A and B are shown apart, each in its own frame.
Chain A
Amino acid sequence: MNDNGTQTAMNARPDLLAPASDLKRRYRTDKWFQRIGLGAIALSLAFIALLFFHIVREGHSAFVRTNIMLDIDFAEKHFVKENLAAADYTALVKHALTETFPEVVDRRDKRQLFSLLSSGAAYQLREMVLANPRLIGTRQQVWLPADDDVDMLQKGKIDRDLPEENRRINDRQLSWLDTLASQGRLETQFNTAFFTGGDSREPELAGVLGAVKGTMLTLVITLMLSFPVGVAAAIYLEEFAPQNRWTDLIEVNINNLAAVPSIIFGLLGLAVFINFFGLPRSTPIVGGLVLALLTLPTIIIAGRAALKSVPPSIREAALGIGASKMQTVVHHVLPLALPGMLTGTIIGMAHALGETAPLLMIGMVAFIADVPGSIGDPAAVLPVQIYLWADSPERGFTEKTSAAIIILLAFLMTMNSLAIYLRKRFEIKW
């Protein structure tokens, strides 16, 4: 083959073995595009991994708590039979501590000694006695929560080697703690209180149950309102509404509503549900209503997209054998659109789960120590709890904040898995 021949052949037909340079450039662009996409995904995964790593590293220690074992003498002289709750349980704790450290006599020293234990210790003893009055007159070894400063020291978040005046635990307290530790009376144990308690201002006593329950109650209200209303609205707009200026206007408004800052919904909730309807502040019912408003646009938009994606042939098939419009929708279109609607609902609920701004307006950003029992009780929700703990001065709340974030993420993952399960169940294979 001579040069001339090759030249003409190349002009006539693209050479299979040596692609033209513009083709090479095209491939290079393709490759670059792929690399950029891959890079973006890798970067976001790296950030997520970093976030998880950071949160878990910060938060895992909140799942354990430093406890101190004391020999509590439930001597009968402390108790009045008629009113066990009124007994001076703090005295029991103090008595046990002075027994353990008989050498501490000075009033100031005693104060420092007593401050090693959490103020919750006395309440724990009260609960024990109320649950089992037969304890009175006995001597029990009881694990009691240590103060948050002790807990932080135990977890290495307070540096022992710092000069004394810079530590919240002084040298004497350190030596007492070392004694307790050498006697096997100081241990970090699983922190049940974190899962069974409501909010507290003492980090060692603070728990997420109140917030978790508040979140559940709120989300149940949100789901019960926004799902049926959202689905019904989506069906009406997609299947029944006439195509005219009004429906266009409604559609534009719904899309805009999805982008409205969430605090606006809080203001609306304050004006409508609290001031007009007189529903009580800080309760899951109001929170649920506000979040339902917030999620509705998301659910409607996702619902409409899901309905749109149902092939028209299915509608024709049903209409063709005489199903009414409603039958067509309910029997055929809705089951096919349901997985998509559920996805939209979960996205909306996840959105609602992370909101604090609208709840601020309706008084749900509040210190609420009692675990809510119903939708009419004041309650906090998880993101609010995180926000409040993050803003608390006590060092111990730093780990609690991360732990609450872990709980929130677990909550979110549970919700997502549920959604995936439901979607799989309702999904109709073609």
Chain B
Amino acid sequence: MNVSHLVAAAGLTILMAGPAMAARDYISIVGSSTVYPFSTVVAEQYGKSSGAKTPKIESTGTGGGFKLFCGGVGVDHPDISNASRAIKESEMKTCADNGVKEIVEVKIGYDGIVLANAKAAPEFKVSRKDIFLALAKEVPDPKDPAKLIANPYKTWKEVNAELPDSKIEVLGPPPTSGTRDAFVELVMEVGAEKIDSLKAMKKADAKAFAKVFQTVREDGAYVEAGENDNLIVQKLQANPKAMGIFGFSFLDQNADVIKGSVIDGKGPSYDAIADGSYPVSRPLFFYVKKAHVEVIPGIKGFLAEFTNDKAWGKDGYLADKGLIAMPDAERKKVAESVANLTPMAMK
């Protein structure tokens, strides 16, 4: 019967595939979905111009990326991890425990998080305090600021009399997303601190304070729109009353249909993010395992491609994709440490 042949063939293919996998001739990259669009462009450029195999890039999220990255040294483990935040001490410790002793940190630029609405809708000028009050699950009672109550605000006007009288309806990323982490940290936390009663609370009970700014309301005013930012863009077009939260690159690519809101007096323009005046921005990184540089072919070439002004410069192709370039001096400094493969100080 053919069945036994098929089984034998399947078994054989598995065995034959074994030796081919011992070595890896392509770069393996994991990590942040925010860095993914930039990392992939560089990978493609590098693959095409060098003729080497194109690096493989998985979008695992920053935390997931470090988990894989710090798993150990060897071809089974990734060479580079993308991150939308700096590596944490605990992650560095895991790395060190698994033999990943030397890591080169590469800061590649900035990303802004924008609050945007449809082009047709009026422009929003909000403060981070407004956003906090509109989106937190529990806010201080306006009558008795010491007491927390379930968020009573239905319209933006109720939050701040200067804002339009439209329903609060914000589409944003789910808690699994790095964008959400950054949004919570850069907007919600700062916004909460602007309120006196919460500021006092932070001093008294940091944990309770964290719970307040981290918990987003669940009564329909904040809609978790999944990881797909394109979907948010489409929904904003369809519903001019709604606001969306996503990375700057989506605003950049869709500037003809949506516009970013002014936050604390600054609009999300390339320049405002680059010079740090737009408040909701974060640096992006990737981390290289030094032990792999000599083993896996192409890592040096990839690093050179990434840290070339043609890529990450102000007029580089990454800027076209929405990456906010670092100032010239900083770029030069990072490029130098990359060229020398200067590892981070391990704590």
Q: Given B13, B36, B58, B229, which contacts A375 in the complex, CB threshold below 8 Å?
A: B13
A279 partner residues in chain B, CB cutoff 8 A: 17, 21
Task: Please give the distance in Å from B181's CB to the nearest CB on chain A.
Answer: 18
Q: Say yes or no: B17 contacts A123, CB within 8 Å.
A: no
| Given A224-B6, A280-B21, A280-B24, CB of A369 within 8 Å of CB of B229 | no
B41 partner residues in chain A, CB cutoff 8 A: 201
Q: Say yes or no: A374 contacts B58, CB within 8 Å.
A: no
Assign chain A's interface to a size class: 35 or more
Residues of B186-240 whose CB lies within 8 A of A: 227-231
Q: Say yes or no: A393 contacts B256, CB within 8 Å.
A: no
Q: Verify if A346 is at the interface (C-beta below 8 Å from B).
A: no
Q: Say yes or no: A367 contacts B40, CB within 8 Å.
A: yes
Q: Say yes or no: B3 contacts A228, CB within 8 Å.
A: yes
Task: Please give the distance in Å from A387's CB to the nearest CB on chain B.
Answer: 9
B58 partner residues in chain A, CB cutoff 8 A: 281-282, 363, 365-367
Task: Please give the distance in Å from A269's CB to the nearest CB on chain B.
Answer: 14
Digitize A360-393: 1 where CB-to-B-CB distance is under 8 Å, 0 elsewhere.
0001011111100011101000000000101111
Q: Given A85, A232, A363, A391, which contacts B3 in the complex, CB threshold below 8 Å?
A: A232
| Given A221-B10, A366-B56, CB of A393 within 8 Å of CB of B322 | yes
Q: How far is the CA of A368 from the CA of B47 in the complex (A)?
A: 11
A395 partner residues in chain B, CB cutoff 8 A: 253-254
Assign chain B's interface to a size class: 35 or more
Q: How far is the CA of A363 from the CA of B41 in the complex (A)?
A: 19
Digitize A273-285: 1 where CB-to-B-CB distance is under 8 Å, 0 elsewhere.
0100011111101
Q: Given A119, A166, A369, A391, which contacts B255 in the complex, CB threshold below 8 Å?
A: A166
Q: Verify if B142 is at the interface (C-beta below 8 Å from A).
A: no
B33 partner residues in chain A, CB cutoff 8 A: 391
Q: How far is the CA of A279 from the CA of B17 in the complex (A)?
A: 9
Interface of A is mostly: loop
Q: Which residue of B lies closest to A224 (CB)?
A: B10
Q: Say yes or no: B229 contacts A391, CB within 8 Å.
A: yes
Q: Which residue of B lies closest to A396 (CB)?
A: B253
Q: Say yes or no: B36 contacts A367, CB within 8 Å.
A: yes
Q: Say yes or no: A123 contacts B56, CB within 8 Å.
A: no
Task: Please give the distance in Å from B155's CB to the nearest CB on chain A.
Answer: 28
Q: How far is the CA of A392 from the CA of B39 in the complex (A)?
A: 13
Q: Say yes or no: A374 contacts B17, CB within 8 Å.
A: yes
Task: Please give the distance in Å from A89's CB to the nearest CB on chain B.
Answer: 10
Digitize A115-127: 1 where CB-to-B-CB distance is under 8 Å, 0 elsewhere.
1000100010000
B17 partner residues in chain A, CB cutoff 8 A: 279, 285, 374-376
Q: Say yes or no: A398 contacts B47, CB within 8 Å.
A: no
Q: Say yes or no: B37 contacts A119, CB within 8 Å.
A: no
Task: Please give the distance in Å from A146's CB to the nearest CB on chain B.
Answer: 15
Task: Please give the distance in Å from A54's CB to the nearest CB on chain B.
Answer: 13
B280 partner residues in chain A, CB cutoff 8 A: none
Q: Given A228, A365, A378, which contacts B10 in the complex, CB threshold below 8 Å?
A: A228
Q: Which residue of A lies closest to B250 (CB)?
A: A393
Residues of A168-222 whose CB lies within 8 A of B: 168, 198, 200-202, 221
A374 partner residues in chain B, CB cutoff 8 A: 17, 20
Task: Please give the distance in Å from A21's CB to the nearest CB on chain B.
Answer: 50
Residues of B232-262 whose CB lies within 8 A of A: 247, 249-250, 252-256
Digitize B146-188: 1 where CB-to-A-CB distance is under 8 Å, 0 elsewhere.
0000000000000000000000000000000000000000000
**Sampled A-B contacts (6; CB under 8 Å):** A166-B256, A279-B21, A375-B13, A390-B231, A391-B228, A394-B253
By a beta-carbon cutoff of 8 Å, the part of chain B in contact with chain A is 1, 3-4, 6-7, 9-10, 13-14, 17, 20-21, 24, 26, 28, 30, 33, 36-37, 39-41, 43-45, 47-48, 51, 53-54, 56-60, 75-76, 119, 227-231, 247, 249-250, 252-256, 315, 317, 320-322
